[in-house]
Structure 1
Amino acid sequence: MGGEPEVIVAKTIDAVPAGAYDDLAAHCGASAYYDRRFLRAAERHPLLPIESLHYLLVRDGDRLDAFMPVYCHAVSTADPLGLLSRTASAGFHSSESALFSHVMHCCDTRLLLRDNAPALFAMLMDRLERLARDSGVPQFAIANVADPALLAMAEARGMEINYSVDRYQMDLAGIDCVEDLITRHIPADGRQEIRRQRRKLAEYGVRVEIEAPPFARIEEAGRLCHETTARRGTPGYLPADALARFLTECGSLLRIVSIYHGDRRIGVSALLLDRPTVHLWLAGMDYALDTFSPYTVTFDTLFHFAFEHGFTRIECGRLNERTKQRFGFTPRPLHAIVQRVEARPGRDAKGAPSPAGSPRHDQTPICPNPPPERTGP
């Protein structure tokens, strides 16, 4: 392509050349989490407070060979359940800040590396270390990783890798239809619950609607998702107003499933379209109607949607393990790649040990350590 590959830093996704980025994303088989609409929504309407945001790129002439978003958060904000703090033996301290390689609402973090070249990985990691060191941020993480190639490159570099949590998925290959799935592939208790709730649909006058954009009553959907995650102990994870704007920004990347009892919305979920996969990305439920389960109806609707639209895999995120296994989903382990870095001389990285290597001095600070802050348990 001419010249040596170079690492550059963009401040906004709109500054990343669209054609070159789309070529790289297609070459790497990037998931919907790396769709420009999703990244733009995360930038403009963050679902967690961001101290700073950068995009690291490796450019070879007009071609992009690597891409990684970098978000600076307080650890307590990005990891409200303490998964990283509990599993990272390097000391992922909740009172500190860190750089993260994608938003925590992404459950399949990858780096876009042309041909998975280790040299490109090394270039990005060198720049990421420099970014953290010169900013006084004592740690960085690539969280929610299942990609074996990425884990292998991190291991070869000597980075710390820890299991953090499972995500849940279902492969529909070889399954003929929804009834085949329910009859032969879902455990008995889940099968019985789906059939019981189907009977209640008519009994209680419940209806299900699936919307493409423009989405109606999207603020209400945001509130319902926020109330549900707050009920589960993480009130800062899905702020209602920001979520409504986020969903709107994603546009045709999503479908919204709504469950109504009369005119009352008792369930809502966002499906992230990522062919050949459809993700049950987030959901909100009104639990006041205790004789009916909108959550079960959401899964039944998801199964029908997948078969009707030709999806061959369903993903439904992390946590809520018992219910997901009840409906036939299989756990897949996610790992966190974590590294502590030393501060630039003259800057204070809170409690950071000093690994080998010489600090570099040509990057201006981007993310000073904020005071301790918690938005979850």
Structure 2
Amino acid sequence: MRAYERFPLTDVESFSYFVVRDHGRAVAVLPVSLLRGLDPLRQLRVRYPVTGEEHGLLSHVWHCYDAWIPGATSPAHVAAVTGVMRELAGELGAAWYGFVNVPAGSWLRDTLLAEGFPAHHIEDRYQVDLRGMTRVDEFIAGARPTGRKNYRRNGRRAADAGVRIRVAPSEETDLAEVTALCAATSARHGTGSYYPDELFTGFVTALGDAACVIEVREEDRLVGVAVSLRDRTRFHAWACGVEYEVGGNYSPYPLLYTTSVAQALAEGRDTLEGGRGNHVFKLRHGLTPLSLDACLLPV
């Protein structure tokens, strides 16, 4: 959160932090951000009566795809947060307030619905349950038949092309080069501004050991990259970029996922978070979808 405050990757006007206390003891917390333009990924305007340019007070930030209220165990905790959230949104001149990227089937979603929030599906994020796995081959075996064949064929072709893969701390990589490839890939899907150059480089650097970079190189050329994040139990394939014109008959994208699984297993993580979007590939290649909703109300 400190890194994102220093290097906000979206147009954030201000950050606030809520702490719910019971007899002086902190029982729940929530970071929120006031955005100038509440819909940078263009996912809300087809589900809510918004242009997307309005100010919005939202849970955490769009770059976090896992909305929850840490510590909250009671509907009273959620009611306390949403009540203060509504008041603050009014004071700050926001048009909307609420939560984005709320997992379907979660206790938070059910509680927000009971409070009168709507829930509209906006995207799916993808995961791999690594518990019980020890080798990447076990992950590949769990993919659909076409996915299994593609992983194995792609690996052979990349090896024949002399592709080199490494996992490195962010300080040992050229983050300007990494950012450029991520931004170019994102731009193909209309969200190139999601990775602003200097802010993205600063943010990843500020994360320290919480981040690492997976590089796929063809000779000296960077053809695939994943900026990966770590938390206590999960390894996140958070931001990716790939070149579509490569020298060999392979794709860097599957290599990023098999390498991410290998690294997650080596670090003893329970889950690989595979990010949002690219549904056809991820369903075919062994990742499991988790539906994400937006729960917003006008101020």
Q: Which amino acid aligns with 2:271?
A: R
Instruction: Tell me, in whole angstroms, the C-alpha distance in 2 between the residues paired with 1:180 and 1:124.
Output: 42
Is residue 82 of structure 1 aligned with residue 39 of structure 2? no
1:164-216 deviation digits (Å, cap 9, x = unpaired) = 21111111234452223323x11121111111222123321111010125332
Query: What's the offset of the Cα at 1:280?
Result: 0.7
**Distance (Å, rounded) in 1 between the aligned partners of 2:76 and 2:23:** 17
Q: Aligned match of 2:63 in 94, 98, 105?
A: 105
**In 2, Cα distance between equivalents of 1:139 and 1:189:** 44
Aligned-partner Cα distance in 2 for 1:214–1:333: 34
Among 339, 350, 361, the alignment partner of 2:297 is: 339
Cα deviation digits, residues 32-55 of structure 1 (max 9, x gap)? xxxxxxx11111111111122222
- Tell me which residue corresponds to 1:5: none
TM-score, normalising length from structure 2? 0.92
Q: Does the CA contact (< 8 Å) of 1:191 and 1:327 recur in 2?
A: yes
Structure 1 residue 118 corresponds to structure 2 residue 75: yes
Q: How far did residue 59 of structure 1 move? A: 4.1
Task: State the alpha-carbon separation in 2 of the partners of residues 324 and 51 from structure 1.
Answer: 34
Whole-Å separation in 2 of the counterparts to 1:213 and 1:332: 29
3-state SS of paired residue (1:214): helix
Distance 1:62 1:212 in 2: 40
Normalised by the length of structure 1, the TM-score is 0.74
**Which segments of 5 or more consecutive residues in structure 2 lack a partner in the other structure?**
none
Which residue identity lines up with residue 281 of structure 1 in the other structure? W
Shift of 1:258: 0.6
Q: Partner letter of residue 99 of structure 1?
A: L
Structure 1 residue 330: Cα displacement:
1.3
Shift, 1:139, TM fit: 1.0
Structure 1 gaps of 5+ residues are: 1-38, 342-377
Q: Secondary structure at the match of 2:193?
A: coil
Asked if 1:293 is matched to 2:255, the reply is no
Matched, 1:134 2:91: yes
**In 1: Cα distance, 2:41 partner to 2:234 partner:** 27
- How far does residue 103 in structure 1 lie from its aligned partner after superposition? 0.9
The yes-or-no answer on 1:70 pairing with 2:28 is: no
Within 2, Cα distance between the matches of 1:95 and 1:238? Answer: 19
Residue number among 151, 168, 172 corresponding to 1:211 in the alignment: 168
For residues 57 and 177 of structure 2, the distance between their equivalents in structure 1, rounded to whole angstroms, comes to 32
CA distance in structure 2 between the aligned counterparts of 1:155 and 1:130, rounded to whole angstroms? 19
Matched-pair identity in %: 33
Query: Which 4+ residue blocks in structure 1 deviate beyond 6 angstroms?
Result: none
SS at match of 2:229: strand
Report the Cα distance in structure 2 between the residues aligned to 1:223 and 1:213, rounded to whole angstroms: 15
Determine the C-alpha separation between the residues in 2 that align with 1:175 and 1:204: 29
CA contact (8 A) 1:109 1:143 kept: yes
| Matched length | 297
How big is the alpha-carbon RMSD for the aligned residues of Structure 1 and Structure 2?
1.9
* 1:240 corresponds to: 197
The answer to which structure has the higher strand fraction is 2
Corresponding position of 2:261: 303
Alignment check: 8 A CA contact 2:133 2:265 kept: no
Which residue of the partner structure matches residue 315 of structure 1?
A: 273
Q: How does 1:1-377 map to 2 (within 5 A)?
A: 39-59=1-21, 63-75=25-37, 78-88=38-48, 91-114=49-72, 116-146=73-103, 148-183=106-141, 185-289=142-246, 291-341=249-299
Q: CA deviation at 1:63?
A: 3.9
1:160 aligned counterpart, secondary structure: coil
- Retained in 1: the 8 A contact 2:39–2:53? no
